[in-house]
Amino acid sequence: MSLHFVGQFPAYRPRRLRQTPALRALMRETHLNASHLVLPLFARTGRKLRRPVAAMPGVFQLSPDELLREATQAHQAGVPAVLLFGLPEAKDAKASGAYASNGIVQQTVRLLKKHLPQLLVITDVCLCEYMEHGHCGVVHKSAKDARILNDPTLDLLARTAASHVEAGADMVAPSDMMDGRVGAIRQRLDRLGFTDTPIMSYAAKFASAFYGPFREAAESAPQFGDRRSYQMDPANANEAMREVALDIHEGADILMVKPALAYLDILQRVKQEFGYPTAAYSVSAEYSMVKAAAANGWIDERALTLESLLAMKRAGADILITYAATDAARWLKEG
């Protein structure tokens, strides 16, 4: 029917319908479900270790045995996936800990896959936690400045991703933002026979103040300078679309936008323009701000957390990565 007919009927006043829970459910456009949640976890060498991250109440650096406990609880609550970060025993200028076959992430992946084979284990692929200078790539220092070398970094990233998959990771998620890393990782995985292992690319990752608390959690703050030479300018949305298009071209299977709440416009455009499975990473400061306000009794933590996650889904996210995943899954189950 075309709008041609509209004029032939009397205009009705807009009305409020009689609301019942069943009608509301029928008409609801967006649904929040535990099956979309991913919980980030921080692994660190040791046993029975639970080191609280001060700026992120409820988040800990965990030894593999404790991380398994945390992952088990999340999984029982209905969270289908975790995203692993690692804190190595030692850092150096080659990020050796990132691709060591018995590195902290590799060990933890093996343990998780042994005890929780149904849990989807995603690994963050980056070098900043393993580099003595805390940058995401190889650094060239001269008398007058220091630069991040894009291309020499690619091989180390591909090695890191391959070692994660060899340990049993179900998916890799490169977060470094070097140009060409998705292609380099895809080629390496294919060459090793891991042709069916997906890549979730941090495709539009902005240079953001919202990562502050994470750098305490992952002990990955850059020792000099900042990440603006490889992360994106928060002012740029069209550039984000170009970054995403490049990652698709190189073989990304899932596209991530990060941070989430302050970047819902980017999330919406990525979903609408590319139609790929899309992930929103609700980053550390998004979590810390909620926790701080909740601790003061200023907000309703549960309502605010679920509303924020719903907004990310409404904007276009299929996958929600959040430090509140286990709580959110429990709240959703309670209804």
| Cis peptide bond upstream of 259, omega within 30 | yes
How open is the CA angle 56-65-215, to the nearest 5 degrees? 30
- Per the annotation, the verdict on 205 as an active-site residue is yes
- Which residue lies nearer to ligand PBG by CB, 23 or 146? 146
| Nearest approach, Cβ of residue 48 and ligand PBG (Å) | 25
- Which residue lies nearer to ligand PBG by CB, 157 or 329? 157
Catalytic residue among 91, 94, 205, 291: 205
Which of 136, 161, 255, 312 contacts ligand PBG by CB under 6 A?
136
- Which residue lies nearer to ligand PBG by CB, 214 or 276? 214
Contact between 126 and ligand PBG per CB under 6 A: yes
Are 53 and 216 spatial neighbours (Cβ–Cβ below 8 Å)?
yes
Instruction: Give residue number: closest CB to ligand PBG.
Output: 214
CA dihedral sign, ordered 300, 293, 228, 90? negative
Cα(96)–Cα(88) distance, rounded to whole angstroms?
A: 9
Are 62 and 43 spatial neighbours (Cβ–Cβ below 8 Å)?
yes
Residues 140-179, interacting with ligand PBG (CB under 6 A): 175-176
Length of the chain: 335
| Nearest approach, Cβ of residue 300 and ligand PBG (Å) | 23
- Which residue lies nearer to ligand PBG by CB, 192 or 289? 289
| Nearest approach, Cβ of residue 207 and ligand PBG (Å) | 8
Cα(237)–Cα(230) distance, rounded to whole angstroms?
A: 16
- Which residue lies nearer to ligand PBG by CB, 219 or 253? 219
| Nearest approach, Cβ of residue 100 and ligand PBG (Å) | 18
| Nearest approach, Cβ of residue 134 and ligand PBG (Å) | 9
DSSP 117: T
Contact between 284 and ligand PBG per CB under 6 A: yes
For the chain, give percent helix, strand, coil, nearest 5.
45, 20, 35
Residue written as token pair 């309703």 = 300
Q: For ligand PBG, what does the binding mask look like between residues 186 and 215, x meaning CB under 6 A?
A: -------------------------x--xx
Which of 128, 154, 165, 264 contacts ligand PBG by CB under 6 A?
128
Contact between 327 and ligand PBG per CB under 6 A: no
Cβ-based neighbour number of residue 248 at 10 Å: 16
Strands (E), the chain: 37-44, 50-52, 60-62, 81-87, 120-125, 138-141, 146-149, 171-174, 200-205, 254-258, 278-282, 319-322
- Per the annotation, the verdict on 258 as an active-site residue is yes
Active-site residues, by number, are 205, 258
- The residues that touch ligand PBG, with contacts defined as CB under 6 A, are 124, 126, 128, 136, 175-176, 211, 214-215, 227, 283-284
